Amino acid sequence: MNVLHVIANPRPAETSVSKKLAFEFFAALMEKNPDVVVNNVDLYQNKPPYVSSEALNYFWGPVVNPAYIPSKAEETAANFSNNNAQALVDADVLVLTMPVWLNSFPAILKAWLDQVLVPGKLFTFGPDGVIPIHHLRTVVLLVSSDSVYKEDDATDGLTPAIRAIFSYIGVDDIQIAWADGQDASRHFDSEQRREMALEAAREIAEDLAEQV
């Protein structure tokens, strides 16, 4: 099993709750299944650029016109995508480690998704719409937030967006370990919430490890 781990958090591991979830997740996964191959991608070490007009032409030109030939400038503008999308194509499982920022995921993750989730790489189009060209089965979200978010919370701009983005390419299995209520000054049970999320991360990893 190939696991792509994308880290969208600039904070060091010692102070980051979401990175603690990731540590727990991968420890459990590797313990249960040492054959798992993990590819770690820290977006703050390899920052995706915003998609430019030239990159858009490169991604979507062939969809509009199959005979389209990109210019050198358009090809250069798609460098990040060309160098990084394959890692997602090769993955069986995608793990996203991140904090909640402004009720959503950090912009750097959106920038990465805009670069890699593009036609010709992750999906193509047939008469009935989108055809996936990947074998991704599951997306795991390892998330931390100061506030408490209830199930289907109207202020949660993270999980509905991730679900919609991956559903578009045929992936509906989204597993979540979310340490919410991490602001101890507002939430007396922040530690228990963190423990519950760590336990959830372990359980998700153990289930996945058995799937091979």
In the complex, least distance from residue 117 CB atom to ligand FMN, rounded to whole angstroms: 24
- In terms of CB distance, is 17 or 113 closer to ligand FMN? 17
Q: Does 145 bind ligand FMN (CB under 6 A)?
A: yes
* Burial class of residue 212, CB neighbours in 10 A (0-12, 13-18, 19+): exposed
Q: Which of 54, 146, 153, 206 binds ligand FMN (CB under 6 A)?
A: 146
- Closest by Cα among 81, 61, 77 to 69: 61
Instruction: Residue count of the chain, please give it.
Output: 212
Q: Which of 33, 52, 76, 147 binds ligand FMN (CB under 6 A)?
A: 147
- Closest by Cα among 177, 2, 196 to 87: 2
CB 173 within 8 A of CB 138: yes
Nearest-angstrom CA–CA distance, 81 and 55:
9
Q: Which of 159, 175, 182, 190 binds ligand FMN (CB under 6 A)?
A: 182
In the complex, least distance from residue 191 CB atom to ligand FMN, rounded to whole angstroms: 13
Q: Which of 103, 119, 133, 168 binds ligand FMN (CB under 6 A)?
A: 103
Q: Decide: helix, strand or coil at residue 2.
A: strand
Show Cβ contacts of residue 68 under 8 Å, excluding neighbours closer than 6 positions.
61, 62
In the complex, least distance from residue 101 CB atom to ligand FMN, rounded to whole angstroms: 4
In the complex, least distance from residue 196 CB atom to ligand FMN, rounded to whole angstroms: 14
Can you give the binding site for ligand FMN, defined by CB under 6 A?
Answer: 9, 11, 16-19, 99-103, 144-147, 182
